[in-house]
Amino acid sequence: MSEFINFFLSLSQSMGYGGIVLLMAIESSFIPFPSEIIIPSAAYLASQGEMNIYLVILSGILGSLIGAIINYWLAFYLGRILIYKIADHRTSRFFLINSAKIKKSEDFFLRYGNISTLVGRLIPVVRQLISLPAGFAKMNFRSFCFYTAFGSGVWVVILAILGYAFGANQELLAKYYGEISLFFLALGLLVAIIIFIKKRKNGEPPNPQSPIPN
C-alpha cells in the first residue's frame, strides 16, 4: 500500500493540478480509479507546501464533474438498452462494470429523483454510475451539473481533509475515514432534504423524469 501511495505522490508532483483533473475525471467516469488515493496524496503535498489545498479541491471537483458529464452524455445519446448491452459485454469486465451495478444506480435514481445525483456521489458503486440513469432520463443538464458538483465537492473535501490532516499515515487515515465520511454524508443528506422540501413547496415534482425511457 505504501508503494501505491508513493506512486500517487510522485504522480501528483509531476502532473500538478492538471493531473488531478485528469485522474478524477477517469475515476468519475466508467473507468475504476481510486479517488481515495488521488486527493489525499495531493492534499498531503499541500500540507507540505508543495501544492495549494484550495486548488487541489477545485481540481478534484472539476475532474469529477467532467467524468460525470461524459457518462451523462453517453447515456443520453446511446440510450438505456444499448448501455445495458455494453455493460454485459465481456470487455466491460476489465472496467468492473456490469448491468447489475447500473441497475443498482438506476433504482437509486428512480427512488430519489434528481437529488440522487448529489447524494449518490457519496455512495460507493453508485458514485461512478449515477450519471448514467440521469442521462437515460434526460435530466435537466444544468441541474445535473449543480447536483453533481455539489456532491462531488463534499466527497473531495472529505478526502482532502483526510490527506491534509493525516498525510501518508494510513493507520490514522483509516481510523478517521469512516467517521468523517459519515459526518459529511449526513451533511449532504441534510442539504438534499432541504432542497427536496423547497421543491415540494414550490410545487415541483421530486422526480419529473421518471419513468426512464428506453
Position 161 in a domain: yes
* 177 contacts 80 by C-beta, under 8 angstroms: no
Long-range contacts of 176-185 (CB under 8 A, 24+ apart): 181/122, 184/122, 184/154, 184/155, 184/157, 184/158, 185/122, 185/154
Distances (CA, A) of 168 to 47, 73, 143, 172: 11, 36, 36, 9
Q: Is residue 88 part of a domain?
A: yes
Per-position DSSP letters for 8-63, written without gaps between them: HHHHHHHHHHHHHHHHHHHHHTTS---HHHHHHHHHHHHHTTSS-HHHHHHHHHHH
pTM over cut 0.85: no
Local confidence pLDDT in tens for the 214 residues of the chain: 445 555 655 666 677 888 889 888 888 887 766 667 788 888 888 888 888 999 999 999 999 999 999 999 999 999 888 888 888 877 766 666 778 888 888 988 888 788 888 888 877 667 788 999 999 999 999 999 999 999 899 889 888 988 888 765 656 665 665 666 666 667 666 766 776 676 677 665 555 444 455 5
C-alpha to C-alpha distance for 159 and 167, rounded to whole angstroms: 11
Longest dimension (CA), the chain: 54
- Nearest Cα neighbor of 27 from 36, 35, 19 is 35
| pLDDT score at 209 | 47
Distance CA 203, CA 161 (A): 38
214 found inside a domain = no
94 CB-contact burial (10 Å; exposed 0-12 / middle 13-18 / buried 19+): exposed
pLDDT for 52: 93
Q: How many domains does the chain have?
A: 1
Domain holding 45, by residue range, is 2-201
Identify whether 212 is part of a domain. Answer: no
